[in-house]
């Protein structure tokens, strides 16, 4: 099942696909462009992975990471489908990152790999932007690169884990203004989903709504104000986002 969360007529609603639009939980059917799309679940801790595809690490001149490169993000970083992400006027290289986002549905600590998938509620698409100019340390990305307001796009759907038989073999791709610029597959993850859940739960409790951003494959390019960026994952969804400049935010 696919589920979304949207704002419409002064309230927040759960919604499901319906023809070319959305069916709200109260039964009303509305057009997709008549709502404000939110993250499709109540977001808890955002746990992001860096350099978790070998081809992307090679693209950035880094070797395989023996231990996952993990950093946390605050809730203010998150926006939904069809949202706008700001490119600061002083940025010279800002890129998207198409990522499979794993949403935790059952709390746990010290979870073994054998039981890890029991704790997954579902999956969504993430587009986690980075500004290379602001980077201080590739191994531990600093907050200004990875915790910017509106810099992490989630959605449009939360897809139940049971509906995705092989999360380890999903195609990912990105399009900028209709041109494909990135392609990969989750089979190439350096650290797969069960091993990440085991690793993370070894030192922190994972709770419902926590989300693991599993990293991006190679193929990141610079994006400019006015660009439409579409990140898509097989069976999960097509996430649309627009880049805007400082003027759109009044400064």
DSSP at 65 = -
Mark the ranges of the chain whose per-residue pLDDT is less than 50: 56-57, 61
Question: Same domain, yes or no, for 57 and 97?
Answer: yes
Say what the pLDDT of residue 250 is: 72
Q: Report how far apart, in Å, the C-alpha atoms of 152 and of each of 129, 146, 218 are.
A: 6, 8, 18
168 and 233 fall within a common domain:
yes
Answer yes or no: do 13 and 112 share one domain. no
Instruction: Say what the pLDDT of residue 20 is.
Output: 82
Question: What percent of the chain stands above pLDDT 90?
Answer: 82
The per-residue pLDDT for 208 is 98
Residue 31 and residue 122 in one domain:
no
Domain that holds residue 185: 39-249
The answer to whether residues 185 and 168 touch, using CB atoms and an 8 Å cutoff, is: no
- Residue 100 and residue 7 share a domain: no
What is the reported pLDDT for 249?
82
pTM of the shown model: 0.93
The token pair that represents 28 in the structure block: 């009303």
For residue 156, cis peptide bond before it (omega within 30 degrees of 0): yes
Q: What is the pLDDT of residue 57?
A: 46
Same domain for 68 and 137, yes or no, is: yes
Distance CA 148, CA 250 (A): 17
Q: Are 81 and 36 in contact (CB under 8 A)?
A: no
- Rounded-to-integer distance, Cα 227 and Cα 179, Å: 11
Q: Which string of DSSP letters, residue by residue, matches 82-121? A: TEEEE--TT-S-EE--EEEEEEE-S-BSS--GGGGGGGEE
φ/ψ of residue 132, rounded to 5: -60, -35
CATH number at residue 19: 2.30.30.370
Same domain, residue pair 65 and 188: yes
Do 85 and 151 form a contact (C-beta atoms < 8 A)? yes
Query: In this structure, are 78 and 95 located in the same domain?
Result: yes
Rounded to an integer, what distance in angstroms lies between the CA atom of residue 1 and that of residue 78? Answer: 23
Residues 121 and 16 in one domain: no
- Gap between the Cα atoms of 217 and 230, Å rounded: 15
* pLDDT, tens only, 17-55: 998 899 999 999 999 999 999 999 999 999 999 888 865
Predicted pLDDT of residue 211: 98
Query: Under a CB-based contact definition with an 8 Å cutoff, are residues 123 and 134 in contact?
Result: no
Count of domains for the chain = 2
Given this model, what pLDDT does residue 42 score?
Answer: 96
- Can you tell me the distance from the alpha carbon of 166 to that of 157, in angstroms, rounded to the nearest whole number? 18
> What is the pLDDT at residue 55?
59
Are residues 14 and 45 part of one domain?
A: no
| CATH classification of the domain holding 151 | 3.90.850.10
pLDDT at 65: 62
Which token pair is 30? 């509305």
97 and 214 share one domain: yes
Q: In this structure, are 108 and 17 located in the same domain?
A: no
């Amino acid at each position: 099942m696919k589920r979304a969360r949207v704002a419409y007529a002064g309230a927040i609603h759960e919604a499901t696909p319906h023809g070319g639009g959305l069916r709200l939980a109260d039964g009303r059917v509305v057009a997709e462009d008549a709502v404000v799309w939110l993250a499709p679940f109540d977001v808890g801790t955002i746990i992001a992975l860096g350099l978790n595809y070998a081809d992307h690490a090679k693209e950035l001149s880094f070797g395989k990471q023996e231990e996952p490169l993990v950093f946390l993000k605050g809730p203010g970083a998150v926006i939904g489908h069809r949202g706008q992400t700001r490119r600061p006027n002083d940025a010279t290289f800002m890129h998207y990152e198409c990522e499979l986002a794993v949403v935790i549905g059952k709390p746990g600590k010290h979870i073994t790999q054998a039981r890890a998938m029991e704790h997954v509620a579902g999956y969504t698409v993430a587009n986690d932007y980075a500004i290379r100019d602001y980077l201080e340390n590739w191994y531990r990305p600093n907050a200004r690169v990875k915790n910017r307001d509106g810099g992490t796009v989630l959605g449009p759907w939360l897809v139940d884990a049971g509906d995705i038989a092989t999360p380890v073999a999903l195609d990912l791709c990105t399009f900028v203004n209709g041109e494909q610029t990135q392609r990969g597959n989750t089979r190439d993850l350096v650290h797969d989903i069960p091993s990440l859940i085991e690793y993370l739960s070894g030192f922190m409790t994972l709770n419902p709504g926590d989300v693991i951003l599993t990293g991006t494959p190679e193929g990141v390019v610079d994006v400019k104000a006015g660009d439409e960026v579409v990140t898509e994952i097989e069976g999960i969804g097509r996430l649309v986002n627009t880049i805007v400049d400082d003027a759109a935010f009044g400064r």
